[in-house]
Structure 1
């Protein structure tokens, strides 16, 4: 990690803001919390966190991307102070609709949408469902989701994912961080990842897990019109490239694959400078209307 990367990870976070939506799936008084930075009139970049994270996970992106863009990172329904879904098993389309409602409430008609890990599933679903609102799509450490599973295989996969929400000993928590990061990840990154997981709520986690079984990302991306950039760490053990990123990349009509050496499952934290550069390039490509292969 460079000195610049370290400074990005130590930058101040924008304050939490609240907005009330009109989405009935979020209950009677639906509220989404989010962080925002940059000029409100600048092109928008919307950041979607992973299953064990929140808007606070994009500290390094706020610090760099907001110089020339309006940057928004939400707390997904059930995360942070955002209202959880009022339905028992929300689908990926429910999260996409919540994101569309948030963007509308903030006056954002079109954005470069960035999703990390679980958030990549929400991002891809949004891009397929709201093509006119998607300037470009960036999928980091993407996940194929689990919609192709059924029966006993599905039940076993759900049970395994749900265990991640259980209270963890310090040893177990350290093991989770080890799985998420490359072996050479420094103490600053490890501390950030561990702290992010502490803020996850049981309801948010359970709904996020169930969402994964409502779709299959490689089946979704062929319909996406926006140019796609896929970012994957070569040492990603949680979502290995050949099982997740590559099938998504190959299924897309227009996709650029960025494989980062010596990086694990958290490119936005392990290599924020490179990550930010890819996002900025994707935003510029989307603005020009060009597609890359």
Structure 2
């Protein structure tokens, strides 16, 4: 995967940035707690549940741009910048838990008047999605879609791995800074076949990380365990890029088995499938929203 120059990246970013501003623009939602959430939204409200998109650790709401616009042709779709990302207020403390992220999500959905939603979690967003669906959102979430879910390192058997991941992530941020992390992230998140436009978009999204929010998210990754949320009351499905090296297909299939969930590969995609294969991701989101219309209410 060849690196792209700054000039090439600037040229490749003109079209998506213009589209972002025109059709998936950011707005700020002020919450009763005094916090704020940066939100992007598209599509039209219908008789089905809204679709709520939760991004991964090295990304942000804008990363969903193309997949969201396509899914928005048939549903109301929104994506947040997680707490501590973009203009969203960070959570309290240095090491917030998945329950803290779930509480902020709950406050947002209440403020937006969303009583039923399909929750889509990509990578680290899967930990937030499942924490919400098993707790505060148990009666609000109609369906959970996990895309390349991060399993977390919170299990007792993961002590050594947890310490290693925490140390490596912190050291990389300290040594490289956000800019350095963003420059190398496309090689990790995309398949070797990814085009220059996808690489530029992954890098642009990663370059917007806020160090403090990123370090809180590292603690979330280290303290959470996706296995804690097995047995959710609503249908769950798991998807994974067939070339994903971060959360490989075999690992994602194990999560699907644990959740008694359906499992499917996204062809021609690495970890950042919403960017690399937005059409395929939009199709699975749209299908989940349509299926949720017929799902029985629970709670």
TM > 0.5 fold call: yes
Answering whether residue 202 of structure 2 is matched by residue 193 of structure 1, we say yes
CA RMSD of aligned residues (A): 2.2
Structure 2: state its 5+ residue gaps. 1-14
Aligned residues: 276
1:205 — aligned with what?
214
SS of aligned partner of 1:19: strand
2:235 — aligned with what?
227
Quick one: distance in 2 between partners of 1:139 and 1:50?
A: 11
Q: Is the 8 A contact 1:47 1:113 kept in 2?
A: yes
Q: Is the 8 A contact 1:231 1:258 kept in 2?
A: yes
2:247 — aligned with what?
239
Q: Is the 8 A contact 1:11 1:59 kept in 2?
A: no
Q: Is the 8 A contact 2:268 2:277 kept in 1?
A: no
Residue 174 (structure 1) shift:
4.3
Q: Is the 8 A contact 2:143 2:235 kept in 1?
A: yes
Q: What pairs with 1:54-65 in structure 2 (closer than 5 Å)?
A: 54-65=60-71
SS of aligned partner of 2:115: coil
Deviates further, 202-211 or 145-154: 145-154
Quick one: distance in 2 between partners of 1:170 and 1:57?
A: 17
Q: What pairs with 1:133-148 in structure 2 (closer than 5 Å)?
A: 133-148=140-155
Q: What pairs with 1:41-120 in structure 2 (closer than 5 Å)?
A: 41=46, 43-120=49-126
Residue 249 (structure 1) shift:
0.3
> 1:37-94 deviations in whole A, cap 9, x for unaligned?
2224553000111111111111112311222211111111101111111222100011
Answering whether residue 286 of structure 2 is matched by residue 280 of structure 1, we say yes
1:30 — aligned with what?
35
Q: Is the 8 A contact 1:90 1:211 kept in 2?
A: yes
Deviates further, 190-199 or 267-276: 267-276
Q: Is the 8 A contact 2:182 2:204 kept in 1?
A: no
Shift in alpha-carbon separation, 1:169–1:289, aligned structure 2, 3 A: closer
2:28 — aligned with what?
18
SS of aligned partner of 1:208: helix
Shift in alpha-carbon separation, 1:20–1:10, aligned structure 2, 3 A: closer
Shift in alpha-carbon separation, 1:64–1:223, aligned structure 2, 3 A: same
Q: Which of 230, 252, 265 is equivalent to 2:259?
A: 252
Using structure 2 for the length normalisation, give the TM-score. Answer: 0.85
SS of aligned partner of 2:32: coil
Quick one: distance in 2 between partners of 1:283 and 1:169?
A: 35
